Structure 1
Amino acid sequence: ILAGHMRRFPPDTVIFSEQEPCAGMFVLFKGHVHISTLGPQGKQNIIADINPVIMFNEVALLDGGPNPYSAVTTQKCIAWQISRAAYLKLLQRHAQDVYMQVSLGLLDIMASRYRQLLGNYADLSFLNVPIRVAKLIYELSDNGQTPINRQGNSLVEMAAHIASVPEAVSRALNFLKCQGIIATSRTAITILKPEELARMAMIGSGDIFTYGHKE
C-alpha cells in the first residue's frame, strides 16, 4: 500500500487516456468511473462502468505498455494509484526468486492476451447491436410488462450495458419502434408487443435485424 498513494478526482475528470504512456494501476474506493475506448469513427465507446472496490488499468502496469482504454469519473472519486516504476521497484526485491521470474513471465503473457481481448471486445460493440438492445429492454421492462424510465436509462447508460455507442442504440430503438414493437417518448419506453420482443431477443442472427448493415 505504501508503494502507491491515494488520489481524489472531481466529477467529469479524465484519469488517463487511451494509448497514452502507462498511468499505473488504480483501485477505486469511492465514486464511479466510465471505461471507454475509441471507436472506428473516432467516438468514445463505453465498455464498462467501474464501481468500488475494483482495480483497473492493471494490464498497463504489468506489461508497461500504453493505457488500453480511457477512464473518466462521473462523480467525486477516491482511488489508490501505483506507478509502473513503483511496481518494478517492488519486484526487484524478489528478482532472484526463480518462482517470481516464472510468475512474471506468465503475467506478461496474460497481459498480452488481455489486450487482445480488449480489442476484440471493442469490435464486438459494433456488431449485432439490435439484438442486444432487444434483450436489454426486455430485461429492463420486466419481460415487457413495465415501461422503462428513460431518465434512469439514457442512451449512454443503455449503450454502456451492452458495450455499444448511443447512436447505435438509438437506431435499434427506432427500428423496434417502426416495427410496432415499442413506443417511445422523452420519458419512457413502452413495450407494445412483449412476445415479439422476446422472440427477437432470443434470435442470434435473425433476418429481421438485417436492415442494411451491421452496427
Structure 2
Amino acid sequence: MIGIALLTSGCTQKDVNNCSCNFIGFKYYNGEKFYLGQISNDYILIGIDTNYSDLQIKDFISTTNTFAPDYQYTIYSGEGYMFKEIPIKLSTPKTCNEITKTIADLNKNTIVSYVHYTMQTDDCTNDIWEPIGNMCVNSYGSSFFIKVFDETDLSMLYQKIAETNTELVQQSSFMPKWFEIRATKNSMGDALKMANYFQESGLFEASDVAISKYPVE
C-alpha cells in the first residue's frame, strides 16, 4: 500500500529520493479552471485521525526533524470531521520537489492519514472579514464532491471510485446528484487531484473540493 502512496505523490516506488513536483494549483468551478495560488514553500498540512489524542500528535511532531522545532502550531478539529488538521512550518523552505518527497516520507507513518500542499494567500480574514492571523495559507481536506448526471445510475461513479481507490462517504440528502468522496493516502491522488481527475473524465456534471484557510503566523 505504501508503494501506491509513493507513486501518486510524484515519487517512484524504487527511489523515494527521486520525487517530481506533484502540486496542482487549480480546481474546477462551473467547468472552468479556478486557480488557487502559488505553492507555499514553508508550510504543509497534516491530517490525523481523531482517534489519536493531541498528546500523541505532539509526540509524533516532536520526534520528526521535518518541522521547525520552535514553531507554535495549532491542532484543529471540526465537528463531524474524522481528522484533526495541523498546518505546520517546515524546518527550512523547500522546493516543490522537496515538499513532494516530504509528503511521501510522512505518509509512511501510521499516525498520518494525509499530507497536503498549502498555497500562499494575501487574505488572512474569516468569512465575515475579521483578521484571523498575520499570515495564512490555504489548503484542503480529504473529501471532494462529485455531481452525477443521473442519481439513479451510479455505475460510472462506482467504477471511478474503484479505479482510484477512493471511498464513497455519502450522498447529499438535499442535492441528491452530489456525492461526497474521500481520498486517502493510498488513493490514486489526494482530494484535489481526484476531484480534477473525476471532472476531466467527462463522466460527471461537476466536481468540487473545499478550500480552507489556516492562520500560520
Do Structure 1 and Structure 2 share a fold, with TM-score over 0.5? Answer: no
- How does the TM-score come out when normalised to structure 1? 0.26
**Radius of gyration: which is bigger?**
1
**Length-normalised TM-score, structure 2:** 0.26
User: Which of 1 and 2 has higher RCO (CA within 8 Å, sep 6+)?
Assistant: 2
Structure with greater strand share of residues: 2
